[in-house]
Structure 1
Amino acid sequence: MGFGNLKAGAGLAALNTYLQDKSYVEGYVPSQADVAIFEGMSGAPDSQYIHALRWYKHICSYKTQFGSLPGVKKPLDQYGDAAQTNGAEESDDDDVDLFGSDSESETEEEKKVREERLKAYAARKSKKPGPIAKSNIILDVKPWDDETDLAEMERLVRTIQMDGLLWGASKLVPLAYGIRKLQISCVVEDDKVGTDILDEEITKFEDLVQSVDVAAFNKV
């Protein structure tokens, strides 16, 4: 099960297919699942595995934080099949025979029961919530100078709370002339939180924050 041998073409192909619409192996922020898969590989995938290579380069940027990323490592063969399993369960649910017979020999009572079941099924399907569109955003928060308290700046950024916003990992990245910027990730629900409101809220801390840029934006 899982992706198979991640040091061989078949395993990389399976991983590439799995990551074509995902930013991370599990969830919406880097975790020990990404570390496990990363360490199970022999190095960066070839360019033909474009999605796996994108993921690999992104996870490389968290290499110094591997030990502090959330989650617990599992054996490699336990990754990669959850989505397929969930999909199969949903498919099984949709394929349940709720309609019964529609033959000419059907009695009036049977026909009435079948129609009631059809109505109930249609009502249940209409109430089934659709998928929530989410995005993974990485923000570059730039300070005024090299004397800016970056720890305090990050603390203030994380105090921003709103429905549909989840803060993730962060790191300090060299900018210029000894100045470092805060690079912080978050997952947002597209209908509730956008980059404009994040920029507006973060730049309110004007004593510490000079500007905010979007470093990366990926649908999840």
Structure 2
Amino acid sequence: MVSFPALNGPDGLKALNDHLLTRSYVVGFQASRDDLAVYSALETAPSSKDYPHAARWFSHVEALLGQSFPGKGEGVTIAGAAPSAAAAKPAAPAAPAAPAPAAKAPVAADDDNSDDSDEDLDLFGELTEEEKAAKAEKDAVIAAAKKRGAEKAKLTKSLIIMDVKPWDDTTDMAALEAEVRAIHKDGLLWGASKLVPVGFGIKKLQITAVIEDSKIESMDAIIEEEIVRDGESETIQSIDIASFNKL
């Protein structure tokens, strides 16, 4: 059985990272319920910078969610968490053999009420208690992963740096910046700005913006429809996105 300290702190994450230094899975050579148990005990993905081996394993297990975990788990204990199902539950005892059915009485060939087919056989027996527990554990891990993914996507933000160019050197740059900042959208926050010389006495406005990706579908659409307005702005000649980075 494999044991780890609590995985919500650096000691536990380091122990997991060291354990996975030469391993692809927690135990064995295939993904097992032990991997699911450790995965479910982690609150977030390990840092790829601080715990590269644990981060690599986490991404691999997350990609396998929804598929089979054919490996045979040996059981894993994590401080502060219940032991994995592989260790917590003994193997289910073999079901007793069903008694042989009574032989049917022969039916006359000319009997109009004869039944030419046997009753349908149940070829798929019910899951054992161990199999039910494993399925419930796997479903819970998948549901938790989907929830974390949805929450992560909802909170994702992007940092944008834009170059705003005036029509000429006579443009009032304060009015130009005010026109840009006058655009208000849910999920859009304007940041710092500065004037950058571009030549011949002309300066461009370089301004930052932070957007919530789940609320702002396209910054290009906002630029075209509400700032530049197809060349109708009296101060803004064009806007280019200089950089676009996820936060």
TM-score tier, shorter chain, comes to 0.3 to 0.5
TM-score with structure 2 length normalisation? Answer: 0.42
- Choose 1 or 2 for highest CA Rg: 2
Higher relative contact order by CA 8 Å / sep ≥ 6: 1 or 2? 1
TM-score with structure 1 length normalisation? Answer: 0.46
